[in-house]
Chain A
């Protein structure tokens, strides 16, 4: 009846969520070939490792603070244009990592099939991390786990979760702005008008709609 299209996976907009997804998948998902992001990603991983490794309150507080500072630093960082997973290059297109070299003779390489599986797992892991960041139930579990710890310690953990969520939401906000500007600019060139609706209440809160119209 009419054209409909929905993006297959949650778009990757956040460097923090990407790093958390890679971390959850283990060592085979190490990034390479992203010189501008290598150091910040390494620092993020190190800070996360420090946090996971310590049972000492003072040290975990320091690790939390360090992680918060890093999250603030990367808030507006774009994702790498390409990443290499197990030697196969994945390009950042339409807000996710895809194998664009596939049609250029890569199809006979067994690495590609393997990379497609890795790519799917990366997409799923990213989506899971985003859900965790937005899931208040999960926050509650974190609280219960730390119920025996001091209020001060709990506050630091809470602040870390707030910063992580804020960073993720900010990345989506920036992505939406980019999408709107790109569509608006192209629509104007083609003689269309664009109406932007932002939903601020009810179950659609946070949703945006762009209605692109050309009168006959």
Chain B
């Protein structure tokens, strides 16, 4: 089982190509100025069966890979590793976010890194916040490309926000929005 906050079966703003995105629930790092404090608690969100999640990923058309973020994915490293390994077996690439630095990780957490293609690493630092960075929230966070498949990938910095409207009209937003966009949504 894994405690999740949310999933999005197709997104274009969390890594190369279209990706299945998984927001893990729970983070003990509690970075000051964090964008998503609702994702800190280990009581919130919902418990998901890892096998069901893999099944859902495998039934999603047209995705290049998965992206796992949170919360802090490596605080549930055993389940996260299972997802990473199964996704790779399905021929998907893996992008992983963590607020930890490499030297802070135990073996189980390092395994997750070793099986990932791209890792976004480092705490969110509010004073270094920059919404113009691709895939990161603050300029101290590093993009580490760990596999051959993305070696040489050009990462053009850009501000990206994604708004999803479900068939029933329900709206969700993800990314690094500026205030004007939040205001537009508030006033719709």
Contacts and interface: CB of A to CB of B under 8 A. Distances in A.
**Is B a genuine binding partner of A?**
yes
Interface of A: 1-7, 9-11, 13, 93-95, 130, 134, 172, 175-176, 178-179, 182-183, 186-187, 190, 192, 197, 199, 201-216
A134 B173 CA distance: 24
A45 B19 CA distance: 46
Given A1-B70, A199-B10, A211-B160, A172 B23 contact: no
B26 to A, nearest CB: 13
B185 A216 contact: no
Contacts of B64: none
Return the 5 tightest CB-CB contacts between A and B, nearest first: A206-B167, A6-B172, A202-B61, A216-B157, A216-B132
A181 B39 CA distance: 31
Interface stretch (B76-84, B86-94, B174-182): B174-182
Given A7-B170, A134-B168, A212-B181, A2 B137 contact: yes
A11 B171 contact: yes
24 contacts: A1-B69, A1-B70, A1-B71, A2-B36, A2-B174, A5-B185, A6-B171, A6-B172, A10-B170, A11-B170, A11-B171, A95-B169, A172-B167, A172-B168, A179-B163, A186-B184, A203-B9, A203-B61, A204-B60, A207-B167, A209-B163, A209-B164, A215-B157, A216-B133
B165 to A, nearest CB: 5
A203 to B, nearest CB: 7
Interface of B: 5-6, 9-14, 23, 35-36, 39, 59-62, 69-71, 97, 99, 120, 124, 132-133, 137, 156-178, 180-181, 184-188
B186 A13 contact: no
Contacts of A130: 168
A2 B180 contact: no
Contacts of B97: 1
A5 B168 contact: no
Nearest to B11: A209
Given A94-B186, A186-B184, A208-B164, A10 B169 contact: yes
A170 to B, nearest CB: 12
A192 B158 CA distance: 10
B61 A201 contact: yes
B9 A204 contact: yes
Contacts of B70: 1
Contacts of B14: 2
B40 to A, nearest CB: 12
A213 B159 CA distance: 6
Contact of A210 (B35, B163, B187): B163
B168 A203 contact: no
A209 B163 CA distance: 6
Residue of B156, B165, B166, B173 most packed against chain A (CB within 10 A):
B165
A4 B97 CA distance: 15
A193 B187 CA distance: 20
Contact of A211 (B6, B12, B180): B12
